A and B are shown apart, each in its own frame.
Chain A
Amino acid sequence: MECHQPRDTTIDPVKFALSVHGTQDCATCHTEGFDKFPHTSTRANMPDCIDCHSGPATPPIDFDKIAAGVKASVHVKMVDPAFRCTNCHSPHSFIPASRMTDASEAILAANKPCLGCHAAGKTPAAQQIAFRNLAEKHKVFPHWELHIQRNACIACHTPRGQEDVHLILPKSQALRDCAACHGKNSLLATKLYTHLALKERSERGWANAILFNNAYLTGATRNRWLDWAALGLAVLTVLGVAAHGLGRILFAGFRRSL
């Protein structure tokens, strides 16, 4: 880092220090071709994440499963067979979602790599236009701008019913069922907070509380105690009305005798 700070334009030392690899020595990954300047190493010579993060030694994240997901994704199949983790995740600034406490932070972080290619532009203004064009392809949603701004791309563009967020699907297979998110066991909970959602689901049977604390989502943000109280009140009302009507029927004979 002697050369790379403080004027560095490629690696931000602060971001790197805060990242998941902040405690690692540069040479842990940058092994060959970095002893001289200019560096002779190419990207292909660099180790990939899976070279370290593999096998049973890296719970709770199953990197082998992630690698399998990437391999089956549209990125490998249709873009680049040599697609690597670092195409999306910068090893110099990556912070896993499990370290984020806020949904919007997790969404921004999750979308950033997607927008880096799919809303690319040389200037911020060009990026803005590219983002607008991308967003307009999502007009199928009501409040589509909100959906794009406050939702993770991977929520709809990865297989439903799986926590895997790396198996990016072709756009023809993107999720279009609103209730998949707007419902009990909203997939957003599992896509954005996989680690917490799994725990919550095993403890409570469904996994929406984590969403409830961070965002409102029609159909998904439900408090079961309020729902039960409302049901109880509705039943009491119907029973009260029925009992009153029954009373009127039972007293009919008495009234006729007047």
Chain B
Amino acid sequence: MKDTSGYPLWLRCWHWSNAVLFVTLLITGVSLHFSKPARSLGFRGDTLLHNTAGILLTLFYCLFLYGNFRLGNGRYYKIVTGDIEPGLIRQARYYLWGIFVGQPHPYPHSHERKFNPLQKLFYLVVMYVLFPILVVTGWVLLFPDQLPGEVLGVPGIGLWALAHTYTGFFLSLFMVVHIYLGTTGTTLGALFHFMLFGEAEPVAASPVRTPALGDRPNMQTTVPKEHS
């Protein structure tokens, strides 16, 4: 059966490979930034692992770009009418209040819409702004001998390293929120299961009320109200 869920196999493989590589880069990156003598893996090992994972992450990013521009996944990232106004406010209101009191998800998952407006905006910034900065600065730092010794009075490598370190830091914060929001599916593990195994049947504008953390898994569902 053709996978029409919006989470085809290649995407799921990319996502989890990306996740493993990113966590590896985060751990080794923090270890390098706060390096101390006689660490378990050591500076040299961390460097080797960090560089290897970074190169692999770049290859997987190319796969992501190919999937988005050639396999149709990019359509989910396009900003459409209503995404900014009222989409962002509506989604933010849902996360700040609606999710607690059991209001239906304002932008349920469908064939046409995989991401809610807030999610879409964040993914756009993360995948098309921050991620490229991280990858480019990482590659530049692989060739420090090609960099100017000094730029605007500070060491040339320093500027790239600063951009690389703190872009990686902000992406790591994104990852924390991303993992947490992964628990906001119909059950705590539903979205994780979804991302691991895909979806057998497409869910179109599910009438299931989006439950939240603390709900019983076999709870009774309610039909969402129509949004004006």
B-contact bits for A100-117, CB 8 A (1 contact / 0 none): 000010000000000000
Kindly list chain A residues whose C-beta atoms are within 8 Å of the C-beta of B156: 216
0 or 1 for each of B199-224: is its CB under 8 Å from A? (1 = yes):
00000000000011111100100100
Report the minimum CB–CB distance from A69 to chain B (whole Å). 23
Contact status of A146 and B145, CB under 8 A, knowing A177-B38, A237-B173: yes
Q: Interface size (B, Cβ < 8 Å)?
A: 42
* One of B79-87, B98-106, B125-133 at the interface: B98-106
Q: Does B33 contact A (CB under 8 A)?
A: yes
Which residues 195-251 of A have a CB within 8 angstroms of B?
214-216, 218-219, 221-222, 226, 230, 233-234, 237-238, 241, 244-245, 247-251
Report how far A175 CA is from B44 CA in the complex, Å: 13
The number of chain A residues touching the other chain, given as a range, is 35 or more
Question: A residues within 8 A CB of B222?
Answer: 258
Residue ID in chain B nearest A240 by CB atoms? B177
Asked if B47 and A252 sit within 8 Å, CB to CB, the answer is no
Partner of A178, one of B43, B102, B215: B43
Instruction: Give CA–CA (A238, B157) in the complex, Å.
Output: 31
A252 pairs with B212, CB closer than 8 A: yes
What chain A residues lie within 8 Å of B38 (beta carbons)? 177, 179
CB contact list, B156-188 vs A, under 8 A: 156-158, 161, 166, 169, 172-173, 176-177, 180, 183
Which residues does chain B contribute within 8 Å of A146, judged by CB atoms?
144-145
Q: Which of A218, A221, A247 contacts B100 (CB 8 A)?
A: A247
A251 and B47 contacting across the interface, CB-CB below 8 Å: no
Q: Does B227 contact A (CB under 8 A)?
A: no
B36 within 8 A of partner (CB): yes
Give A219's nearest chain B residue, CB to CB: B35
Asked whether B2 is an interface residue with its Cβ less than 8 Å from the other chain, the reply is no
Bound form: Cα–Cα A215–B156 in Å? 8
In A140-158, the 8 Å CB interface with B consists of 142-143, 145-146
List residues of chain A with CB within 8 A of the CB of B219: 256
A254, B214: Cα distance in complex, Å: 11
Q: Quick check: B101 and A251 within 8 Å, CB to CB?
A: yes
**Are B35 and A245 neighbours in the complex by a CB distance under 8 Å?**
no
When chains A and B are docked, how far (Å) is the Cα of A183 from the Cα of B222? 57
Asked if B161 and A216 sit within 8 Å, CB to CB, the answer is yes
Contacts of B189 in A (CB 8 A): none
Minimal Cβ-Cβ distance residue in B for A237: B173
A179/B214 in contact, CB under 8 A? no
Q: Give the complex CA separation of A179 and B39 in angstroms.
A: 9
Bound-state CA distance A233–B166 (Å) is 12
Contacts A183-B37, A222-B33 given; does A215 touch B214 at CB 8 Å: no
Indicate with 1 or 0, residue by residue over B33-75, a CB within 8 angstroms of chain A CB atoms. 1111111001110011000000000000000000000000000
Residues A219 and B215 in contact in the complex (CB < 8 Å), given A146-B145, A178-B43: no
A235–chain B nearest beta-carbon distance, Å: 11
Docked-complex contact A256 and B35, CB < 8 angstroms:
no
A248 to B212, Cβ gap below 8 A?
A: yes
Residues of B within 8 A of A145 (CB): 145
Please measure, in the bound complex, the distance between the C-alpha atom of A120 and the C-alpha atom of B155, giving whole angstroms. 31
The 3 closest A-B pairs by CB, nearest first: A252-B214, A248-B213, A178-B43
Question: Which residue numbers of A lie inside 8 Å of B, CB to CB?
Answer: 104, 142-143, 145-146, 177-180, 182-184, 214-216, 218-219, 221-222, 226, 230, 233-234, 237-238, 241, 244-245, 247-252, 254-256, 258
Can you list 21 A-B contacts (CB < 8 A)? A104-B149, A178-B47, A179-B37, A180-B37, A182-B32, A182-B43, A183-B36, A218-B161, A221-B155, A221-B158, A244-B95, A244-B180, A245-B213, A248-B100, A248-B212, A248-B214, A251-B212, A252-B212, A255-B100, A256-B216, A256-B219
